[in-house]
Amino acid sequence: MTINQLSVFVENKIGSLVDVTKTLYENEIDMRTLSVAETPDFGVLRAIVNDPEKTARLLTDAGYVCKLTPVLAVAIDDRPGGMYRVLQTLEQHSINLEYTYAFVTRTTDTAYMVLRVADNEKAIQVLQEQNIRLVSAQEVFKL
């Protein structure tokens, strides 16, 4: 139940982001979410795309350094405290959260969270125990 997230090394300047997203656009890559984590000098662009392997190849050929990482995506309940419940569950089981970001789609009212944790197996187990719904790549792209 993991999703392959694409990350790309970019220099911290607007032109770098323009170039990467242009390559994605020109190759008609279907992208569900994109976020950038940055330091003053560089950034890591993270994206959930429909064909991560192909996209990684495209970007590598275009001269970028990129990487695929299995991450978790969960659906957040449409009621107060949905996000809190997810994070609290991870914390209670001492599962280290490297980073997280949320995204919404046009077609449903549900919000989704991407979770990058140290131990995917354990996180899946404890989240499922709390009836938190994990979302597959197929589902993300059929949304």
Partner 1 sequence: MEHYFQPEIERASRDQIRAWQDERLAKTVRHVYDHVPYYRTRMQEKGLTPEDIQSVDDLHKLPFLTKDDLREAYPYGLLAKPLSDCVRIQSTSGTTGRRVVAFYTQHDIDLWDECCARAIVAAGGTRDDVVHVCYGYGLFTGGPGLNGGSHKVGSLTLPMSSGNTERQIQFMCDLGSTILCCTPSYAAYLAESIHERGLQDKIKLKAGIFGAEAWTEEMRADIQNKLGIKAYDIYGLTEISGPGVSFECSEQTGMHINEDHFIAEIINPQTGEVLPDGEKGELVFTSITKEAFPLLRYRTRDICVLNRKPCSCGRTHVKMSKPMGRSDDMLIIKGVNVFPSQIEAVLLQQGYPANYQILVSRENNSDRLEVQVEMVPEMFSDSVSEIAQREKELINALKAMLGIYAKVTLVEPKTIARSEGKAVRVIDTRNLY
**Using CB under 8 A as the criterion, which residues of the chain lie in contact with partner 1 when the complex forms?**
5, 7, 9-11, 16, 37-39, 41-44, 46, 63-67, 69, 98-99, 116
Looking at beta carbons only, is 9 or 141 nearer to partner 1?
9
CB of 77 to partner 1, least distance (A): 27
CB of 17 to partner 1, least distance (A): 12
CB count, 10 Å around CB of 132? 21
Separation of alpha carbons 114 and 112, rounded Å? 7
CB of 129 to partner 1, least distance (A): 27
CB count, 10 Å around CB of 22? 11
Looking at beta carbons only, is 64 or 141 nearer to partner 1?
64
Separation of alpha carbons 112 and 125, rounded Å? 18
DSSP H helical segments within 3-143, as ranges?
A: 14-26, 52-61, 82-92, 120-129, 137-142
Looking at beta carbons only, is 40 or 80 nearer to partner 1?
40
